Amino acid sequence: MSAIKDTLPRMVALAHERSELSRIQLAGMLADIFLFNDSHLSLREEELINELIDQLMKSGTVQVRSQLMEKFADVSRMPRRIATHIARDDIAIARPVLMACPTLTDDDLIQVVEEQGVSHAALIATRQQISEAVADALVTTGDVRVMQAVAENLGAHLSQKAVEAVADAARYSAELRAPILHRPEITADTAMKLYWWVEQDLRRYTLKRFGIGSGQVDKALAMTITTFLNDHVNQKGNDEVMTQIAEWMEKHEALTLQVLPQVLRMGHFRLFNILLARLANLNLSLIDTIMAEAGGRGLAAVCRAVGMDKPGFVSLFLLARGGRPGDQVVHPRELSLALEAFDRMSPAIAKDLLHSWSMNPDYFAKHNQEASRDALH
């Protein structure tokens, strides 16, 4: 203790000098107090030391901070007062402190995440242990690199809020999908929200890990489509955007007969036409003509050709009428004609008919005019 008392006046004197050399000397003396003195400081001595640290860190240069980092090569021995200053420094100097200094509290780390850039946050995300509170702050940055580091860090404890946030981001960031699906904290419900966004190997892993049944898979698809379409609710009439959605559905093997009525119920009539054209392998302009047909016999042929059953066709026919121009009310005669056409055709005949229409669109145009006259009488 007497050594500390003898050293304090000299350190105070160095603090009042403004030369670079005096600051470097002060940094070395402050470091030695914590490195080589096993005695506890008195309250007054601790206050003086902290004041000297604050003054030094406020006015110190890169050389001063480098001197401190050289002294505290073992960051586990760095006092919190110095660590909190270094943690806000340039990333080259702050790196070892952000990654491993144990004297930084959760509040210290959260403050650094909130005040500094994502480079600081990314290093904190690699710490050996991360609390839920710190993980929440890291995930809240919204930076994919930071989220990925947190998700891959098995020493991090993730709250359900953090898991949900990373899973939501993983829909559009492939780097996050495997790490979040392998987290011990993720639930079956959250994993299924992500199921239709991930690659086949991750789907198989999800099914095996959680023992998911086919009913849950179908439910997850419906939920995913709803979320996806709600994200584009203001772009229903944009062919380019709707085509991108259709391509996404094809890529993820989500383009099925079961999604068609769901798309119609959400009012995405343009997307429905695009999806139906892809399922039937027909030109979109031809599908547009078929959907505008009054009698519904063209739609009956398409539905037969793609393997839809009769109840599915009735539901689709009634829902699809809401997307045609003009009168959207279904006349009883119109539904009757559509059902008659559906019952008369076998899938094979329907496929041949669609092939003829695709080869000669004028043929369907003529057929459409005749069907319209029949539907009105």
Domain edges within the chain: 2-210, 217-375
Under 8 Å between Cβ of 261 and 230 = no
Cα gap 236→271, rounded to integer Å: 7
pLDDT of 334 strictly over 70: yes
What is the per-residue pLDDT for 366?
63
State the pLDDT confidence band at 118, using cuts at 50, 70 and 90: very high
- Lowest pLDDT segment from 33-42, 152-161, 236-245, 256-265: 33-42
pLDDT of 374 strictly over 90: no
Q: Is the dihedral of CA 64, 69, 71, 77 positive or negative?
A: positive
Cα gap 112→98, rounded to integer Å: 9
| Cα distances (Å, whole numbers) of residue 271 to 244, 295, 296 | 10, 22, 19
Could you tell me which of 184, 188, 252 has the C-alpha nearest to residue 224?
Answer: 252
Instruction: Report, as an integer, the average pLDDT of 255-268.
Output: 91
User: DSSP string spanning 157-204?
Assistant: ---HHHHHHHHHHHTT-GGGHHHHHT-TT--HHHHHHHHTTS-HHHHH
Average model confidence (pLDDT) across the chain: 85
pLDDT of 326 strictly over 60: no
Report the CATH fold assignment for 2-210.
Leucine-rich Repeat Variant (1.25.10)
234 burial via Cβ count (<10 Å: 0-12, 13-18, 19+)? exposed
Residue with the bigger pLDDT between 324 and 247: it is: 247
Instruction: Report, as an integer, the average pLDDT of 27-38.
Output: 68
State the pLDDT confidence band at 38, using cuts at 50, 70 and 90: low
Cα gap 343→44, rounded to integer Å: 95
- Lowest pLDDT segment from 60-69, 205-214, 218-227, 305-314: 60-69
Instruction: Report, as an integer, the average pLDDT of 198-205.
Output: 92
Residue with the bigger pLDDT between 225 and 144: it is: 144
Q: Which of 33-47, 49-63, 208-222, 320-334 reaches the highest mean pLDDT? A: 208-222
Instruction: Report, as an integer, the average pLDDT of 31-44.
Output: 64
State the pLDDT confidence band at 375, using cuts at 50, 70 and 90: very low
Instruction: Report, as an integer, the average pLDDT of 89-101.
Output: 90
Inter-axis angle of helices 284-292 and 361-375, nearest 10: 10
Report the alpha-carbon angle 264-269-274, nearest 5. 110
State the pLDDT confidence band at 1, using cuts at 50, 70 and 90: very low
What is the per-residue pLDDT for 308?
94
Percent of the chain with pLDDT over 90: 46
What is the per-residue pLDDT for 74?
76
What is the per-residue pLDDT for 301?
92
- Lowest pLDDT segment from 80-84, 207-211, 314-318, 341-345: 80-84
Q: In 3-state terms, what secondary structure has residue 130?
A: strand
What is the per-residue pLDDT for 303?
95
State the pLDDT confidence band at 33, using cuts at 50, 70 and 90: confident
- Lowest pLDDT segment from 49-63, 87-101, 192-206, 288-302: 49-63
User: DSSP string spanning 309-341?
Assistant: -HHHHHHHHHHHGGGSSS--PPPHHHHHHHHHH
pTM of the complete model = 0.70
Q: Which of 194-198, 273-277, 368-372 reaches the highest mean pLDDT? A: 273-277
Under 8 Å between Cβ of 245 and 237 = no
Residue with the bigger pLDDT between 74 and 200: it is: 200
Pick left, alpha or beta for residue 296 (phi over 0 → left; psi -120 to 50 → alpha; otherwise beta).
left
Residue with the bigger pLDDT between 289 and 156: it is: 156
Cβ–Cβ contacts within 10 Å for residue 161, how many? Answer: 13
Q: In 3-state terms, what secondary structure has residue 156?
A: strand
